[in-house]
A and B are shown apart, each in its own frame.
Chain A
Amino acid sequence: MKAGFVPGVPVQALLDAQAEVWRQAPSEAVALIGAPSALQPTAAVRAEFPDGRIGAVKQVAIAVLHNGSELAFRLTWQDPSADTGADGQDDVGFPDAAAILFPSRPHAPLMTMGAPGLPVTAWYWRADENGRGRQVTAEGLGTSQTVDRDQVFAQGVYGNGRWAVVIARALRAQSAGPVAQFETGAAANFSVAVWEGSHAERAGIKAISLGPLSGWHELVVDGRT
Chain B
Amino acid sequence: MSKRQLAMVMDLNKCLGCHTCTVACKQLWTQDEGMEYMWWNTVNTMPGRGTPRDWEQMGGGFGPDGQARPGRLPKRAEFGEAWKFDHEGSYYGGQGDGSHLKIKGDSPEWGPNWEEDEGGGQYPNSFHFYMPRMCNHCTHAACVEACPRGAVEKREEDGIVTVNEDRCRGYRFCQSACPYKKMYFNHQKKVAQKCVFCFPRIEQGVAPACARQCPGRVRFVGYRDDEAAPIYKLVDKWKVALPLHPEYGTEPNVFYVPPVLPVSYGPDGDIDESKPRIPDEYLVSLFGPKVLDALVTIKAEREKKRTTGESELMDLLIAYEWKNMFGGFDRSPETVSVIHWRKKS
Interface centre among A44, A92, A142, A145 (most CB of B within 10 A): A44
The one of A44, A91, A92, A204 that contacts B146, using a Cβ cutoff of 8 Å = A44
In the complex, chain A residues 33-89 whose Cβ is within 8 Å of any chain B Cβ: 40-48
The one of A47, A48, A92, A142 that contacts B149, using a Cβ cutoff of 8 Å = A142
Give the CA-CA distance A202 to B176 in the complex, in Å: 14
Q: How far is the CB of A38 from chain B (nearest CB, A)?
A: 13
Say yes or no for A90: interface residue by CB 8 A criterion: yes
Give the CA-CA distance A90 to B185 in the complex, in Å: 10
Say yes or no for B70: interface residue by CB 8 A criterion: yes
Give the CA-CA distance A142 to B150 in the complex, in Å: 7
A48→B148 contact, CB < 8 A: no
Interface positions of A (Cβ within 8 A of B): 40-48, 90-92, 128, 141-142, 144-145, 202-204
* Contact A203 to B171, CB < 8 A, known contacts A42-B146, A47-B70: yes
Q: How far is the CB of B41 from chain A (nearest CB, A)?
A: 23
Q: How far is the CB of A174 from chain B (nearest CB, A)?
A: 22
A44→B68 contact, CB < 8 A: yes
A203→B75 contact, CB < 8 A: no
The one of B68, B149, B170 that contacts A144, using a Cβ cutoff of 8 Å = B149
Number of interface residues of B (CB under 8 A): 27
A203→B73 contact, CB < 8 A: no
Nearest residue (CB) in A for B188 is A90
Give the CA-CA distance A46 to B177 in the complex, in Å: 12
Say yes or no for B301: interface residue by CB 8 A criterion: no
A204→B67 contact, CB < 8 A: no
A48→B176 contact, CB < 8 A: yes
In the complex, 7 of the A-B residue pairs with CB atoms within 8 angstroms, ordered by the A residue number, are: A44-B173, A44-B177, A90-B187, A92-B75, A128-B190, A142-B150, A144-B149
Say yes or no for B69: interface residue by CB 8 A criterion: yes
Q: How far is the CB of A14 from chain B (nearest CB, A)?
A: 27
B149→A44 contact, CB < 8 A: no
Q: How far is the CB of A123 from chain B (nearest CB, A)?
A: 16
Interface centre among A41, A47, A142, A145 (most CB of B within 10 A): A47
* Complex interface: chain B residues within 8 A of A40 (CB): 148
B67→A42 contact, CB < 8 A: no
Give the CA-CA distance A203 to B150 in the complex, in Å: 12
